[in-house]
Amino acid sequence: MRKLASIILFLAIVSNSFGQSKNSPLQISHLTGDFYVYRTFNDYKGNKISANALYLVTDKGVVLFDAPWDKTQFQPLLDSIKAKHNKDVVMLFATHSHEDRAGGFDFYKKKGIKTYSIKLTDDILKKNKEPRAKFIIPNDTTFTVGQHKFEVYYPGKGHAPDNIVVWFDKEKVLYGGCFVKSADAEDLGYLGDANVKEWKTSIGKVKTKFKNPKFIIPGHDDWKNIESLNHTSELVNDYLANSLKKK
């Protein structure tokens, strides 16, 4: 009887996590191979906005790239991953200091998960007296975790002064975080910490360094259109052109 109850609980967790409705607070989608995009939500200026993040399943455990924007989903994400893959999360990388990326450092660190950021991110979090990562990494670092290799790269300022991207060369997956806008985005969104002029240069560096991506994951909204990085470049050019007209 106990075994049957355990099976039912397992199936319930999997169903809640992977057979989600569009209203689920945590939505997980298979990207390719061992890659999964997960989406959480929060309110921004009175509107419910989605935030995309990524996790990678390896032989050594699961690697998270950014934490859920919704704090109530910190533990459900771990539970869902455990139910689906029977693996624990072992590493968390934040792609910049904003809450929708680095907001889970304290929670996941207490769970024994290794947390990572570049020094620029750490400096901002320290200044703002917010929880910081345990490990500080160079701006351009390659990691091998289990059977997977990936590069964490800082291209320069853009959406934030400390935004990084992650590149998986074998699978040609570019995880852009908020450095990349969705192909559906009508504008550049929140620019409180942005440097739009340098963003243009930074995009050029990413395009030069990481060629022919098959998948590009932006920080918010739709992630299935491969033109998101090019669209971001167009939005930046439009913004700069309009700024010149106003002078």
Q: What is the pLDDT of residues 115-162, one digit of tens each?
A: 999 999 999 999 999 999 999 999 999 999 999 999 999 999 999 999
First to last CA, the chain: 74
How sure is the predictor about 2, in pLDDT bands with cuts at 50, 70 and 90?
Answer: very low
pLDDT at position 46 is 79
pLDDT score, position 244:
74
Residue-level pLDDT at 150: 98
pLDDT grade for 23, boundaries at 50, 70 and 90: confident
Report which DSSP code applies to 95: S
Question: What is the rounded CA–CA span in Å between residue 198 and residue 78?
Answer: 36
* Angle made by CA atoms 188, 180, 92, in degrees to the nearest 5: 125
Burial status of residue 138 (CB atoms within 10 A of its CB: 0-12, 13-18, 19 or more): exposed
Check residue 108 and give its pLDDT. Answer: 98
With beta carbons less than 8 A apart as the criterion, state whether 203 and 213 touch. Answer: no
pLDDT averaged over every residue in the chain: 92
Portion of the chain with pLDDT greater than 90, in percent? 85
SS3 235: helix
1 vs 67, residue with greater confidence: 67
Number of Cβ within a 10 Å radius of residue 56: 24
Percent of the chain clearing pLDDT 70 (strictly above): 91
Structure tokens at 206: 């990413």
Residue 20 — very low, low, confident or very high, per pLDDT cuts 50/70/90? Answer: low
**Mean pLDDT, residues 106-114 taken together:** 98
What is the pLDDT at residue 94? 98
State the pTM of this model: 0.90
Give the model confidence (pLDDT) of 36-71 as tens digits.
999 999 987 778 899 999 999 999 999 999 999 999
- The CATH code of domain 26-246 reads 3.60.15.10
